[in-house]
Chain A
Amino acid sequence: DSGVTQTPKHLITATGQRVTLRCSPRSGDLSVYWYQQSLDQGLQFLIQYYNGEERAKGNILERFSAQQFPDLHSELNLSSLELGDSALYFCASSVEGSQETQYFGPGTRLLVL
């Protein structure tokens, strides 16, 4: 158990819909990262937040957005969903924003039908 929690574990929705994935970092960690893992693909970095502020952006679509709240939990919002958005979405956290060692949550499996 990494100490990072993600909800929900599974999500099934239809194209065009909007969903919100939630992540709670390890106690004391200020930085949260979001990754997408599609079938047979590596982990693709989406976005990083550090203490409430966006720190780095990766291959995140404009239809996707994220935020980190004062209690340090984070939400990833996916809108206008397409079939290709079906993937595992992982959240990770680290103490600082240096990303040296990230601790991953169990992931949310999103299926868009």
Chain B
Amino acid sequence: GNSVTQMEGPVTLSEEAFLTINCTYTATGYPSLFWYVQYPGEGLQLLLKATKADDKGSNKGFEATYRKETTSFHLEKGSVQVSDSAVYFCALSRGATGANSKLTFGKGITLSVRP
């Protein structure tokens, strides 16, 4: 079946540090890959996505590249801010239609950024 594995957390960084959060997946075919973010007290929000190999998703300074050869979708940001403190979830879907559109999530990782 499909699965998503995220690196163990939590992660604590100082402001302006470089961020990498690892995500690998297991899936048949060519899944779409997502990063969702959950700020304290709020619902999950889509941060970025990629739908095919070598696609790069980007948003708010965050980037992730769909690597089919390593089945990975690592999240990076060059300089984190205190406002980036949140829980980050990597997810996949097998497709865009029907039941294939359901999301399979990793466990999530908590990022805390110190001033």
A binds B: no
